[in-house]
Amino acid sequence: MKAKYSVIILISFIVLTSLFTSCGKDRWEEYYPFTRHSLWIDSVMRANYLWNDELQDEDELTSSFFLNSVAFLSKVRNSDDYVSYIDTTCSQPIIGHGYQLAIAQVNDTALMAVITYIEPTSVAATAGLQRGEWIMAVDNEAITSKTQGLLTDGEAHKLMIGHSATIVINDEETTEEAEHSIVVFNRMVNLPEASGYFPNDLPVISIINNRVGYLLYNNIAEANQQKVAAASKSLSAGNITNIVLDLRHAATGDVKGLQYLASILAPSSVLGNQLATVQFAESRHMESSLPFLTASELGEGINLNLNKLYVLTSSATSGPAEMLINCLESVMEVIVIGQQTKGIGVACETFSDPVNDQLLHLAACHVTDINDKADYIGVGIEPDYSIDPLSTIEGIQPFGSEHENLLAKALELINN
């Protein structure tokens, strides 16, 4: 059986090779329209990829060049690369309901799903769903391991929605009263079928009690500088000096986005000084000093001149968000609240395909602080105050709510 398998592999290789050398002729030019996109990715990676010295030789990738761009990148990238991805310059919506859920066990068979995130432009938002609400049943059926797939299948559904409540129960043994959190029925919601929506990278900007600024920021990217600038103007106009930066969903971004946001938040005394060191692949023989932008370089943005920053994190916080925390800790006090971050110290560089609208966001560098420190890589940033965002039922509130589990802790620290 082993011999037959070897023969099949050999024959397959001969057939594949013959595609390019049929009748002794080089057929690469003929097949170029089908391989051009992957060949372009390969050439960019060999010149700029952080792990370019570990890429397979081109002759070992012959068959892979016929894969589509996403499949090719997935096949050739390093196993430690969680950040490289293919995008397009054309705005294309994501198809879905636009919510994220966490499943809770009620008893041996029944489940409930708590809504942990809502995209502002999605059908879930249009239907009136909010973070912290509970889905108790779907299409009049209890949620079980068999029916929970209905919540994410993209079809239209009727949802039974509940909210958290507190009841007081007398303990029969101690005769003392104790408070218990429960979920009680609230209303029925008709969830439309999945539709297209565009993610909002800076979905929440609010000022709490006229003294605390709250920003939920999901993508620390150069493309979002206008949103950051607008937020900085709002906060500066209100003389807000206490800032809570919510990065629990921040897993993407780039070095320029990091540089801009850091320059908005940092003490004004460090503007123009070194922010970080950017280290590229060894073959590029490059290492650059990344400075804080000066006030004039911020454009419409305004430096907030902070000496202390409160940052909310989760286990999904990674990449540029972690770099931001790491670099700012060298110049100001950063108080981290939430969960230990992912530990990915790699930033992307964006390359544009000269022929079509394809963008390659490629892991291209490590970013360290002014002391060349990045000891969170591989282990994550440990919070100063460790709190599970779902730790209490009543604390799973809409983002920006004073009673939301993580923000409530930040406000407690600020008030004290």
Whether 23 is in a domain gets the answer no
Same domain, 221 and 356: yes
Classify residue 5: in a domain, yes or no.
no
Last residue of a domain, one of 164, 197, 230: 197
Last residue of a domain, one of 42, 77, 112: 77
Give the three-class secondary structure for 17: helix
DSSP assignment of 41-98: HHHHHHHH-TTGGGSPPGGGGTGGGGS-HHHHHHHHS-TT--S-EEEESS--PEEE--
Whether residues 300 and 167 fall in one domain? no
* Element counts in the chain: helices (H) and strands (E): 8, 21
Whole-prediction pTM: 0.84
Q: Which residues form the domain of 174?
A: 94-197
Q: Indicate whether 223 and 364 sit together in one domain.
A: yes
Give domain status of residue 9, yes or no: no
**Do 244 and 345 fall into the same domain?**
yes
47, 77, 107 — which closes off a domain? 77
Based on the fold, state whether residues 138 and 266 are members of the same structural domain. no
Q: Are strands 252-253 and 242-246 parallel, antiparallel or unpaired?
A: unpaired
In a domain, 334, yes or no: yes
How many other CB atoms are found less than 10 A from the CB of residue 59?
Answer: 6
Instruction: Give a yes or no: residue 10 inside a domain.
Output: no
The verdict on residue 232 lying in a domain is: yes
Pairing mode, if any, of strands 212-216 and 346-352? unpaired
- What is the CB neighbour count within 10 angstroms for residue 253? 29
In a domain, 336, yes or no: yes
Residues 133 and 275 in one domain: no
131 in any annotated domain: yes
- What are the backbone dihedrals phi and psi of residue 67, each rounded to the nearest 5 degrees, phi first? -70, 160
CB 65 within 8 A of CB 41: no
Q: Is there a single domain that holds both residue 145 and residue 278?
A: no
Q: Identify whether residues 365 and 395 lie together within a single domain.
A: yes
**In one letter, which amino acid is 101?**
L
pLDDT digits (tens, 9 = 90+) for 320-370: 999 999 999 999 999 999 999 999 988 888 899 888 888 898 999 889 999
Give me the CATH number covering residue 313.
Answer: 3.90.226.10
* CATH code of the domain in which 143 resides: 2.30.42.10
- Check whether residue 162 and residue 214 sit in a common domain: no
Domain total in the chain:
3
**Position 351, amino acid:** F
Which of helix, strand or coil describes residue 388?
Answer: coil
Same domain, 120 and 217: no
- For residues 214 and 175, state if they share a domain: no
Query: Does 316 lie in the same domain as 277?
Result: yes
pLDDT in tens, 85-123: 888 766 678 899 999 999 988 777 789 999 999 999 999
Residues 256-287: tens digit of each pLDDT: 999 999 999 999 999 999 999 998 888 887 77
pLDDT in tens, the chain (416 residues): 444 444 443 444 444 444 555 555 556 567 777 889 999 999 999 999 999 999 999 888 888 999 999 999 999 999 888 889 888 766 678 899 999 999 988 777 789 999 999 999 999 999 999 999 999 999 999 999 899 999 999 999 999 999 988 787 776 666 677 777 788 999 999 999 999 998 899 999 999 999 999 999 999 999 899 999 999 999 999 999 999 999 999 988 889 999 999 999 999 999 999 999 998 888 887 778 999 999 999 999 999 999 999 999 999 999 999 999 999 999 999 999 999 999 998 888 889 988 888 889 899 988 999 999 999 999 999 999 999 999 888 899 999 999 999 999 999 999 98
Q: Using CB atoms within 10 A of its CB, is residue 11 exposed (0-12), middle (13-18) or buried (19+)?
A: exposed
What is the distance between the terminal CA atoms of the chain, rounded to a whole angstrom? 74
